[in-house]
């Protein structure tokens, strides 16, 4: 109780203090408030993971009814993830925002929205009253919108922000529908009513309910085909916000899905197949489009979609495992999903933060203009490399551990699956492998083109490494990335707490099968350690041997060509070309070309722009037809104030009159009946 009061008071004090602070201090005070709240909530969360669930019920009012705040292990896990990313992101953000200190009003709005976002995200993990949950959801969406449109003088930013805002509200409509339906049937806004609803109305009805809530949460999480806001919003936001959005904001959608699964506890097998289907498509589609992107942050945004797909695969496998009474598969699936949620928040935020450093140093995120940055910003390049390896799921980093768990889930499922289902399993494996391979292609491209080789463009300003304070939080993230890779068992024992909630859904099992896995993971960490040790050994021998040899430096071998090779370097586009040629039939690439003509060639150019096919079919086409339809009523919008006032008055009159007329009509019918 006291803790919750304090939790709400800290942001309030920070808001009230805001006007009295100098512009420089506003960010710092906001960050302090965030730290305090993070410590408070993490303390509760750690206690919960220790075994005692936290519960408090606010009395609420007549509209909302009682407002229960229940923090179980699942909430606690997400609270910890949110806190870590927000804390590192905030510290990074303080440095990132230094350049914009002249934009006084925007800064103030930004830092307030930052506190709000943090508070809202944490509250969403605990709140279990659907009305209040939706209100908080709205606060989260709005504060995220404010954060995204920080550079609101750019048209593209505003457009991306509005796109995000609209799609967030579509998500709210679906959630609202689901929650109101439950409330109408059971008379309670408490989340527990969802369980009651499922209990009373049977499986098929609750499946419909699940689909509504799933779509609502999937829009936030960015499952294909509900992802279209994501590739716009992430690049438009300042880097620390992109990192936080990708790291934790979309994870709130995952949290929602997991929460609903916990509450509903029915149709688990069907739900599993639904989620697997969406996830496999999201995973492959996300990474396929990521490869084509020329904008570094947009590329990363598409990778978020891919990783949501991987997390979803884990959840789906877990659900099917529960539904088919296979506790090994269930625990592996959910453990993979929960761990990958953490992992993705780590390496994705790190990638966005490093992308932000690149942006601040060069003022561009167009990868075709970058190159050779590793010499000017070695630390950033190193950090990007670690995160790129981790996100490609390569050993010895954290991404491999969670993907390994999901793979193990699939391979353990294989011998126990029924005949028809085997096809699903093998295609899930296929999807996961393809995702891994495509991610490797994508990140070799991103890292290679941005950081390696020669600069592709001559910048007029000096390119320097970011200040150490800005890079420091990234080292914290890296430390966690590496330690999850090397000591997976320690983290898995934490994951086992929320995992037990899911396993407990099936009364036949009481504990997870983490025991077997810990032996496997121990072997993996031993092999990782030996990889490190052996590499160090070989490298040491190499140093020793080369110490006695003649080592010289020269130009890159140009096969006889000795001229300048900077312009001849492979570009990102050419690196991805053999791929994009092959997958032409799925992708949508607009090209603009002016070929070289005549003996003395004049100007020639080539430009290609990848576009999202799903967006074209699902968003652009319907909007086009709606526009066409609406254009028929364009005469109403004539720009004259008088008319608008008339519309308003007509509307109000209609609102008042329609019920009256309806009533009169009923009376008339009654009279007619009497006759």
Partner 1 sequence: MLSAILIILAAIFYTGIINRTKSIASGRKGPGLFQHLADAIRLFRKGAVYSNTTSFVFQIAPTIYFSTVVIAMLLVPFGDSKGLFSFQGDFILFAYILALGKFFSIIAALDTGSSFEGMGASREALFSLFAEPAFFILMGSLALLTGYTSFHEIFAALHLGSYTTYAVAVLGAFVLVMISMIENSRMPIDDPKTHLELTMIHEVMILDNSGFDLGLILSAGYLKFAIYATLVFNLFVGTIHYEYSIPLFFLTQFILAVFMGLVESFMARFRMSHNPQFIVVLTSVTLLIFFGVLLLIGKFI
Query: Among the candidate windows 109-117, 245-253, 566-574, 606-614, which touches partner 1 by CB under 8 A?
Result: 566-574
User: In the structure encoding, which two tokens stand for residue 437, read together?
Assistant: 């391979």
* Residue 400 sits in the site that holds partner 1 (CB under 8 A): yes
Smallest separation, CB 112 to partner 1 (Å) = 42
Query: Among the candidate windows 34-42, 76-84, 240-248, 410-418, which touches partner 1 by CB under 8 A?
Result: 410-418
Q: Which is nearer to partner 1, 187 or 378 (CB)?
A: 378
**What are the backbone angles phi and psi of residue 617, rounded to the nearest 5°?**
-80, -40
Smallest separation, CB 530 to partner 1 (Å) = 6
Rounded distance between C-alpha atoms, residue 23 and residue 580, angstroms: 48
Rounded distance between C-alpha atoms, residue 4 and residue 44, angstroms: 10
CA 251 vs CA 257, 405, 437, 584: distances in Å = 10, 19, 24, 32
Residue among 393, 473, 488, 498 that touches partner 1 (CB under 8 A): 393
Nearest one of 271, 258, 131 to 191, comparing CA atoms: 131
Q: Which is nearer to partner 1, 106 or 569 (CB)?
A: 569
Region 509-528 residues binding partner 1, contact defined as CB under 8 A: 516, 519-520, 523-524, 526-527
Q: Which is nearer to partner 1, 356 or 453 (CB)?
A: 453
**What are the backbone angles phi and psi of residue 127, rounded to the nearest 5°?**
-65, 135
Rounded distance between C-alpha atoms, residue 385 and residue 588, angstroms: 29
Region 569-588 residues binding partner 1, contact defined as CB under 8 A: 569-570, 574-579, 582
Q: Which is nearer to partner 1, 202 or 378 (CB)?
A: 378
User: In the structure encoding, which two tokens stand for residue 360, read together?
Assistant: 């601040």
Residue among 384, 404, 502, 509 that touches partner 1 (CB under 8 A): 404
Rounded distance between C-alpha atoms, residue 165 and residue 172, angstroms: 11
Rounded distance between C-alpha atoms, residue 521 and residue 486, angstroms: 9
Region 79-138 residues binding partner 1, contact defined as CB under 8 A: none
- Contact (Cβ atoms closer than 8 angstroms) between residue 461 and residue 360: no
Query: Among the candidate windows 230-238, 249-257, 424-432, 613-621, which touches partner 1 by CB under 8 A?
Result: 424-432
Q: Which is nearer to partner 1, 200 or 519 (CB)?
A: 519
Smallest separation, CB 497 to partner 1 (Å) = 24
* Residue 633 sits in the site that holds partner 1 (CB under 8 A): no
Residue among 19, 420, 563, 659 that touches partner 1 (CB under 8 A): 420
Residue among 511, 535, 609, 650 that touches partner 1 (CB under 8 A): 535
- Contact (Cβ atoms closer than 8 angstroms) between residue 376 and residue 465: yes
Nearest one of 345, 231, 346 to 294, comparing CA atoms: 231
- Contact (Cβ atoms closer than 8 angstroms) between residue 524 and residue 438: no
Mapping DSSP onto H, E and C, the string for 274-318 reads HHHHHHHHHHHHHHHHHHHCCEHHHHHHHHHHHHHHHHHHHHHHH
* Residue 408 sits in the site that holds partner 1 (CB under 8 A): yes
Q: Which is nearer to partner 1, 132 or 386 (CB)?
A: 386
Smallest separation, CB 313 to partner 1 (Å) = 14
Region 427-456 residues binding partner 1, contact defined as CB under 8 A: 429-430, 433-434, 436-438, 440-441, 443-445, 447-449, 452-454
Q: Which is nearer to partner 1, 271 or 373 (CB)?
A: 373
- Contact (Cβ atoms closer than 8 angstroms) between residue 617 and residue 608: no
Smallest separation, CB 342 to partner 1 (Å) = 19
Residue among 69, 213, 389, 471 that touches partner 1 (CB under 8 A): 389
- Contact (Cβ atoms closer than 8 angstroms) between residue 221 and residue 260: no
Residue among 59, 105, 184, 415 that touches partner 1 (CB under 8 A): 415
Q: What mask of x and - would describe binding to partner 1 in positions 362 to 381, judged by CB under 8 A?
A: ---------xx-xx--x--x
Smallest separation, CB 315 to partner 1 (Å) = 20
* Residue 27 sits in the site that holds partner 1 (CB under 8 A): no
Please enumerate, as own/partner, the contacts of 30-33 that have beta carbons within 8 Å and a separation of 24 or more.
30/90, 30/111, 30/112, 30/114, 30/115, 31/90, 31/91, 31/93, 31/94, 33/115
Q: Which is nearer to partner 1, 155 or 550 (CB)?
A: 550
**Residue carrying structure tokens 């710092």:** 28
**What are the backbone angles phi and psi of residue 606, rounded to the nearest 5°?**
-145, 135
Smallest separation, CB 414 to partner 1 (Å) = 5
Smallest separation, CB 421 to partner 1 (Å) = 10
The Cβ of residue 552 has, within 10 Å, a number of other Cβ atoms equal to 5
User: In the structure encoding, which two tokens stand for residue 527, read together?
Assistant: 């092999």
Residue among 53, 546, 625, 650 that touches partner 1 (CB under 8 A): 546
Region 454-473 residues binding partner 1, contact defined as CB under 8 A: 454
Residue among 59, 62, 102, 549 that touches partner 1 (CB under 8 A): 549
Q: Which is nearer to partner 1, 519 or 663 (CB)?
A: 519
Mapping DSSP onto H, E and C, the string for 73-85 reads HHHHHHHHHHHHH
User: In the structure encoding, which two tokens stand for residue 203, read together?
Assistant: 């499986």
């Amino acid at each position: 109780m006291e803790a919750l009061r304090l939790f709400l008071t800290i942001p309030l004090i920070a808001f009230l203090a805001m006007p009295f602070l100098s512009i420089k201090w506003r960010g710092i005070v906001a960050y302090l408030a965030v730290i305090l709240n993070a410590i408070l909530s993490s303390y509760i969360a750690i206690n919960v993971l220790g075994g005692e669930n936290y519960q408090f019920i606010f009395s609420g009012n007549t509209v909302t009814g009682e407002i229960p705040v229940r923090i179980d292990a699942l909430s606690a896990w997400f609270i910890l993830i949110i806190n870590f990313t927000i804390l590192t992101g905030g510290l990074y953000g303080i440095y990132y925002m230094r350049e914009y200190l002249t934009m006084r009003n925007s800064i103030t709005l930004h830092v307030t929205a930052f506190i709000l976002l943090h508070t809202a995200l944490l509250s969403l993990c605990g709140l279990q009253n659907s009305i209040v949950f939706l209100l908080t959801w709205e606060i989260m969406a709005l504060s995220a919108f404010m954060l995204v449109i920080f550079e609101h003088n750019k048209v593209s930013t505003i457009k991306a922000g509005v796109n995000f805002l609209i799609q967030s509200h579509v998500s709210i409509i679906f959630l609202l529908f689901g929650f109101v339906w439950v409330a109408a049937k059971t008379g309670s806004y408490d989340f527990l009513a969802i369980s009651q609803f499922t209990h009373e109305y049977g499986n098929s009805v609750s499946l419909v309910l699940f689909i509504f809530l799933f779509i609502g949460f999937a829009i936030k999480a960015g499952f294909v085909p509900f992802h279209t806001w994501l590739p716009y919003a992430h690049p438009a936001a300042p880097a620390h916000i992109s990192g936080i959005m990708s790291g934790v904001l979309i994870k709130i959608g995952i949290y929602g899905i997991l929460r609903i699964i916990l509450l509903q506890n029915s149709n688990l097998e069907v739900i599993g197949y639904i989620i697997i289907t969406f996830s496999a498509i999201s995973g492959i589609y996300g990474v396929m489009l990521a490869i084509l992107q020329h904008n570094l942050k947009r590329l990363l945004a598409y990778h978020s979609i891919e990783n949501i797909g991987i997390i979803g695969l884990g959840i789906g496998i877990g659900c099917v495992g529960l539904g088919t009474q296979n506790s090994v598969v269930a625990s592996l699936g959910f453990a993979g999903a929960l761990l990958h949620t953490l992992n993705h928040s780590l390496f994705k935020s790190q990638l966005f933060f490093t992308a932000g450093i690149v942006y601040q140093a060069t003022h561009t995120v167009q990868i075709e203009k970058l190159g050779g940055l590793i010499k000017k910003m070695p630390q950033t390049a190193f950090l990007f490399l670690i995160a790129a390896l981790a996100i490609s799921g390569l050993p010895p980093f954290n991404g491999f551990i969670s993907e390994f768990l999901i793979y193990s889930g699939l391979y353990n499922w294989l011998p126990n699956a029924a005949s028809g289902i085997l096809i699903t399993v093998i295609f899930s494996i296929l999807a996961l492998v393809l995702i891994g391979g495509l991610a490797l292609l994508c990140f070799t491209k991103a890292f290679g083109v941005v950081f390696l080789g020669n600069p592709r463009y001559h910048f007029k300003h000096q390119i320097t490494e970011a200040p150490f304070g800005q890079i420091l939080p990234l080292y914290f993230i890296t430390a966690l990335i590496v330690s999850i890779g090397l000591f997976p068992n320690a983290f898995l024992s934490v994951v086992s707490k929320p995992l037990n909630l899911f396993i407990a859904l099936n009364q036949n099992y009481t504990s997870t099968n983490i025991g077997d896995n810990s032996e496997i993971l121990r072997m993996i960490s031993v092999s990782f350690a030996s990889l490190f040790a052996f590499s160090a050994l070989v490298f040491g021998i190499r140093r020793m041997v080369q110490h006695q040899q003649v080592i010289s430096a020269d130009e890159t071998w140009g096969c006889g060509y000795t001229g300048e090779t900077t312009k001849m370097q492979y570009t990102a586009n050419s690196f991805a070309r053999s791929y994009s040629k092959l997958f032409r039939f799925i992708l949508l690439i607009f090209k603009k070309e002016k070929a070289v003509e005549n003996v003395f060639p004049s100007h020639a150019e080539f430009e290609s722009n990848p576009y999202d096919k799903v967006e074209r079919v699902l968003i652009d086409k319907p909007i086009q037809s709606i526009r066409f339809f609406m254009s028929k009523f364009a005469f109403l919008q004539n720009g004259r104030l008088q008319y608008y006032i008339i519309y308003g008055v007509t509307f109000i009159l209609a609102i008042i009159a329609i019920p009256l007329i309806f009533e009169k009509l009923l009376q008339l019918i009654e009279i007619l009946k009497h006759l």
